[in-house]
Amino acid sequence: MDMRFPYSPAEVAKVRMVQFGILSPDEIRQMSVVQVEHSETMERGKPKVGGLSDPRLGTIDRKLKCETCTANMAECPGHFGHLELAKPMFHIGFLKTVLSIMRSVCFNCSKILADEEDHKFKQALKIKNPKNRLKKILDACKNKTKCEGGDELEVQDQDSEQPAKKSRGGCGAQQPKLTIEGMKMIAEYKAQRKKSDDQEQLPEPVERKQTLTAERVLSILKRISDEDCQLLGLNPKYARPDWMILQVLPIPPPPVRPSVMMDTSSRSEASIFYCLFS
């Protein structure tokens, strides 16, 4: 028994499961104790309010106490803040996953491109491992060039005894080819050829490229329903696709930052943010 801690007769709880997930922007705001609005750390020899060393984030000075828990430097563990981004940004750690999801859903209506009757899609739904399921869903959707209409409802035809299938989700939009170039996502469209009798005189299809901003990708991911998230291998309670786009940045407290950042008085604002967020 560890003698550093007093004996307790309480029953020790057993860990049955560990659940990993992605913090949503709302959760980051709720956990935050201060919104950082300034890059400066000090002002007139004291921590700047609303800055990277706001007194509510914790203290690294023996003479000062934390304004959140009123503890000193040795006892205060530090408290997280948050920074509201002016525009959404791609997260380097989720960029490939976002690309796989974007290739699996409609660019216009955000519904899964694969048909429920597709053999590959049925085989993908049998996979329990979320990561492998997303790969199989992507394999079933990667050759789709048009949103033909996701789920189908069986409706009884008045003139026939056999049930007729009716589309209830497709928008018919043309799907671009998505690629990644560095930290940019590129959408490539191919111009549709018009039907004509003289096919030999038609020029080759013109390819049109456009760079997708993180804001545009975020709007597409937000429209994905919770049901489609489950099919893609994501639990919407712990990890929605739109949470993989940076909207709010958590700010670590001064006590847990690298020691190289303690003396930032001679650094420019740009270098401070580079060290903190890289």
CATH number at residue 46: 4.10.860.120
pLDDT at 277: 44
Answer yes or no: is pLDDT of 242 > 60: yes
Average pLDDT, integer, range 64-73: 90
Residues 96 and 225 reside in one and the same domain = yes
pLDDT at 1: 52
Residues 132 and 254 reside in one and the same domain = no
pLDDT at 61: 87
**Is the residue at 206 inside a domain?**
no
pLDDT at 119: 86
| Range of lowest pLDDT (19-33, 94-108, 116-130, 211-225) | 116-130
Residues 128 and 223 reside in one and the same domain = yes
**Is the residue at 141 inside a domain?**
yes
**Is the residue at 133 inside a domain?**
yes
Answer yes or no: is pLDDT of 205 > 70: no
Residues 226 and 132 reside in one and the same domain = yes
104-142: pLDDT as tens digits: 999 989 999 988 788 888 888 888 888 899 999 999 888
Nearest to 249 by CA among 95, 83, 93, 90: 83
**Is the residue at 83 inside a domain?**
yes
| Residues contacting residue 71 through CB under 8 Å, at least 6 positions apart | 65
pLDDT at 220: 95
164: domain range?
92-187+214-231
Answer yes or no: is pLDDT of 217 > 50: yes
**Is the residue at 36 inside a domain?**
yes
Which segments of 97-206 are extended strands (E)?
152-156, 163-167, 177-181, 184-190
pLDDT at 200: 53
Residues 102 and 225 reside in one and the same domain = yes
**Is the residue at 142 inside a domain?**
yes
Answer yes or no: is pLDDT of 261 > 50: no
Percent of the chain with pLDDT over 70: 77
Residues 218 and 111 reside in one and the same domain = yes
Average pLDDT, integer, range 140-147: 86
**Is the residue at 12 inside a domain?**
no
Nearest to 32 by CA among 50, 13, 17: 50
Residues 39 and 99 reside in one and the same domain = no
Answer yes or no: is pLDDT of 250 > 90: yes
Instruction: Name the domain count of the chain.
Output: 2
**Is the residue at 222 inside a domain?**
yes
pTM for this predicted structure: 0.75
Answer yes or no: is pLDDT of 156 > 70: no
Which segments of 97-191 are extended strands (E)?
152-156, 163-167, 177-181, 184-190
